[in-house]
Amino acid sequence: MKNSAIASQASWFRLSFAWLALAMLPVLGAGCAGTFHEVRVLSPGMAPAERPQVLVLGNVEVTDTNVTATDKEVYRLKFQAGVEGWFGKTNIFESVVLSGTNAIPNSIILSGTITEVNKGSEAERFWVGMGAGQARVQGEFEIKDAAGQSLTRFAARRSYLGGVGIGGAGMIGMDELTSRLGVTVAETVAKWVRGQKVE
């Protein structure tokens, strides 16, 4: 009799816990699970009348002094991969190439500086949410013509607000976030080339 009562009580606790877990799913899943981007024009300019056929990836530096030299190189390559990967799925340009010593006719050059790579606070993202402790990568970028004349400048930022929990724990690494910044910059270049609003 006693064992039966204990088993019945254990079953009730298990059932109650299962229902509680199901009830908490919307709360846990509402934890700002995603990345967000922002683009701001610093120096407006018109795209060339003749649409460029080649995008040249010029020098992109990571200048955040809180980042090690090794990580700076990793982030630079991740950014580059983000740009190349996005354009590889489109027909905006005939080719995307790395900068060399010779000017390429009918091309534009993308260069820039990644000024901040901030991991934020995982604890704040989880317990506070609402944008607190967000991880972010941001920088300033410039598009030049083949002769090196500046055509436009813009700032871009990619932020990560967390995964699951109240605000979200860490589910995306800074290398992935930097790659996504490259995607945001690529999308911005594509809009500018098409004459669309980039902000």
Token couple for 31: 């934890």
**Cα 24 to chain centroid, rounded:** 29
Contact 126, 30 (CB under 8 A): no
In the block, residue with structure tokens 């700002």: 32
pTM of the model: 0.76
| Domain segments of the chain as ranges | 1-27, 31-193
Q: What is the mean pLDDT of residues 163-192?
A: 81
Q: Give the separation between CA 19 and CA 42, rounded to whole angstroms.
A: 52
Q: Give the separation between CA 104 and CA 108, rounded to whole angstroms.
A: 8
The tens digit of pLDDT for each residue in 94-122 reads 999 998 868 899 999 999 999 999 987 55
Please report the pLDDT score of residue 37 as a whole number: 86
Contact 79, 103 (CB under 8 A): no
Give the CATH fold of the 31-193 domain.
Answer: Rossmann fold (3.40.50)
Partners of 139 in the beta sheet? 114, 156
Q: Please spell the DSSP secondary structure of 106-172, one letter per residue.
A: TEEEEEEEEEEEE---HHHHHHT-TTTT-EEEEEEEEEEETTS-EEEEEEEEEEE--SSTTTT---S
Contact 117, 134 (CB under 8 A): no
The tens digit of pLDDT for each residue in 13-57 reads 454 444 433 443 343 343 444 678 899 999 999 999 899 999 999
Please report the pLDDT score of residue 121 as a whole number: 56
